[in-house]
Amino acid sequence: TGGREVMLVLPADHAVEFARLEMVLQERRVDLVREGRLRRIFRDCDRGAIPPFGNLYGLEVLATPRLLRNATLTFNAGSHEMAIRLSAGDYEDLVRPRTEEFSSHI
């Protein structure tokens, strides 16, 4: 988005609404990052197993309110063999995501 990269964290059964995301980020155009760039940012993670800790990689993190209403969150821990489960409150304390509505249920 305008030269900055943002990690989006949303439930698996949601899809990003790009028009809404552009309004939230106040950007005219928002694009997905290409696979090669993901590999460079998340060198220590398996492909397709990136955990939602963008803050550890210098990224701003946006999370949907719907996701954070869950009691617990479960996600890949950088590999396809390990997962992390923690409370939504602990996730918020660790990551401090910006909470915005940018997705809808599919």
Residue 56 to residue 18: CA distance in whole angstroms: 25
3-state secondary structure of 105: strand
Place of tokens 């803050």: 55
Do the bridges between strand 103-105 and strand 14-16 make them parallel or antiparallel, or are there none, so unpaired?
Answer: antiparallel
As given in the structure block, the two tokens for residue 93 are: 């304390």
Q: Render each residue's pLDDT in the chain as its tens digit; 106 residues.
A: 777 899 999 999 999 999 999 999 999 999 999 999 999 999 999 999 999 999 999 999 999 999 999 999 999 999 999 999 999 999 999 999 999 999 999 9
Using a cut of 0.95, tell me whether the model's pTM lies above it: no
Dihedrals φ, ψ of 76, to 5°? -60, 145
